[in-house]
Amino acid sequence: MNYHTPETFEDAAAIAARAAGTTRFLAGGTDVLVQLRSDLVTPDDLIDIKHIPAAKAITRTGDGGWRIGAAVSGAEMTENAALCADWPGLVEGMDLIGSTQVQGRATLVGNLCNGSPAADGVPGLIAAGCTVTVIGPKGSREVAVEEIPAGPGKTSLAKGEVITGVTIPARGQHGGDAYLRFIPRTEMDIAVVGCAVNLRLDGDTVTEARVVLGAVAPTVRLVPEAGEAILGTTLEAAALDRLAEAASAACQPIDDKRGTIEFRTHVAGVLARRAAKIAHARAKGGTA
């Protein structure tokens, strides 16, 4: 295994483009090292992007949004009070991944690139309408986060392409987001179901809504029908029922060691309802 420490994303992409065998980018390593250790994937070339200065930065964008570098750890995100105040749901999704120790290393972009349908960090990104910057042999492009996952363990990235960071839009007025996941224990598990909700309100009424589900389909899934179910409502009981139904209806889960189809489908509705209420309260200025 060759270990590389490029100092620019362009160099990182070039190394990957040239490489003949299996290539992995190393940021937090919380997936790559597990795969290495369990002999699932032993890369021929391992490209550590942590020596690239921009990869480690959290910055404000000109329009009041945020830019999270590809090697920023979960702990660095949760320690940024202004980011947490803007996007509590997005940050709590990241924060739920693994232990304190894992938070010291794991990254949002790594979580996205691992391609897991159960990725806790991803639903919040999609609900917020985030994009990622991809650099590759053909130059740079900005891609919606929901276009990256392509199936369990797969992404739409081409050979030699690397994500440099995530762009989060400006929070704007009267918005709120939330992420909930269901796991059997209180910590340390992979999501059995995840749900992110991002809302904007006019008074009590929902004017924008994005609902995203994790672990219930081959990829993290944006569910427009679920968002529509609460548009123009104040999350009264009937609206929440419609939301839960739409969320459950969007599920195409599998039976596996972590949960059953029936359980996932039901709990997707439960979490959508609960997350929507939290997002609503946050949009109203609450701290729930």
Residues that bind other proteins (CB under 8 A): 1-3, 26, 28-30, 33-34, 36-39, 42, 46, 48, 50, 73, 75, 98-102, 104-105, 182, 184-190, 192, 256-260, 262-263, 266-267, 270
Q: Residue 262 Cβ, how far from other proteins at the closest point, in Å?
A: 7
Which residue, 124, 126, 177, is CA-closest to 149?
126
User: Which CB sits closer to other proteins, 38 or 173?
Assistant: 38
| Contact (CB, 8 A) for 162 and 13 | yes
* Coil/strand/helix, residue 53: helix
CA torsion sign for 178, 183, 186, 187 is: negative
User: Which CB sits closer to other proteins, 104 or 152?
Assistant: 104
Q: Residue 36 Cβ, how far from other proteins at the closest point, in Å?
A: 6
Q: Residue 163 Cβ, how far from other proteins at the closest point, in Å?
A: 20
Give the C-alpha distances (Å, rounded to integers) separating 195 from 33, 49, 96, 276: 27, 30, 13, 9
Q: Residue 18 Cβ, how far from other proteins at the closest point, in Å?
A: 18
Q: Residue 174 Cβ, how far from other proteins at the closest point, in Å?
A: 29
User: Which CB sits closer to other proteins, 210 or 264?
Assistant: 264
Spatial distance between the Cα atoms of 111 and 181, rounded to a whole number of angstroms: 15
User: Which CB sits closer to other proteins, 163 or 244?
Assistant: 244
Which residue, 210, 212, 177, is CA-closest to 283?
177
User: Which CB sits closer to other proteins, 202 or 255?
Assistant: 255
User: Which CB sits closer to other proteins, 126 or 247?
Assistant: 247
Q: Are strands 205-214 and 193-202 parallel, antiparallel or unpaired?
A: antiparallel
| Contact (CB, 8 A) for 6 and 47 | yes
Q: Residue 273 Cβ, how far from other proteins at the closest point, in Å?
A: 9
Torsion of CA 243, 87, 95, 228, to 10 degrees: 10
